[in-house]
Amino acid sequence: MKLSNEPLITEEALRERIGALAEEISRDYANRKPVLLGVLKGAFHFVSDLARAMRCPVEIEFIRAASYAGTESTGQVRVELPISISLRGRDVILVEDILDTGRTASAIRAHLQSQGTASIALCTLLDKPSRRVVPVTAAYTGFSIDDHFVVGYGLDYNERYRELAAVYILQPEA
Ligand code: XMP
Ligand code: MG
């Protein structure tokens, strides 16, 4: 497998879109203090850039959800929520790298609801709507993309490429 020569989404496009998302979220959550709950590891750049562009105070936490080996979903999702605050009564913005089948987001949402959250909104950097198996829609979406396997800006292929500043398509070698 190799990277596309050109990014699918450039650094500049990421910066611009994330700035606009932060504006929108800041307006929607004015006078509240939402918890930005990032899903590790893929969302770590996104949470960082989103948080710095926000205009309302936020708290930042991370959880972990495992469902993937290589590029194929196993359909099983394990949620680990070892965070230091209580989510009871909190407005949570779940920050995901990518929405694919929807299994991960839906499992995490159920898990959060059981913690007594006041509200949960999903904010995903990327969405592959054509891949959806479980009906999930994001309140905030960075980019809707076709069914490519993408890496970079937090997204990995077997733990590689997370450090890249832009999003690339991973293609089979010719
Ligand atoms: P589901 O299917 O549960 O998947 O919505 C969400 C998780 O699957 C991983 N995923 C990808 N990771 N490039 C990646 O690096 C991709 O194109 C891709 N599609 C899905 C990712 O971990 C995400 O949180
Ligand atoms: Mg992954």
Mean predicted confidence (pLDDT) in 66-84: 68
Q: With 50 as the cut, is the pLDDT of residue 56 above it?
A: yes
Ligand 1 touching residue 120 (CB < 6 A):
no
Give CA–CA dist 75/100, Å, rounded.
11
Can you say how many angstroms the Cα of residue 132 is from the centroid of all Cα atoms in its chain?
15
For residue 85, report the distance from its CA to the centre of ligand 2, in Å.
Answer: 26
Give CA–CA dist 168/156, Å, rounded.
10
Can you say how many angstroms the Cα of residue 81 is from the centroid of all Cα atoms in its chain?
16
Give CA–CA dist 25/12, Å, rounded.
20
Mean pLDDT of the chain: 93
Mean predicted confidence (pLDDT) in 38-53: 97
Confidence bin at 41 (pLDDT 50/70/90): very high
Q: Which of 2, 3, 38 is nearest to 125 (CA)?
A: 38
For residue 156, report the distance from its CA to the centre of ligand 1, in Å.
Answer: 9
Pair 11, 165: CB distance under 8 Å: yes
Catalytic site residue 100? yes
Q: What is the DSSP letter of 131?
A: G
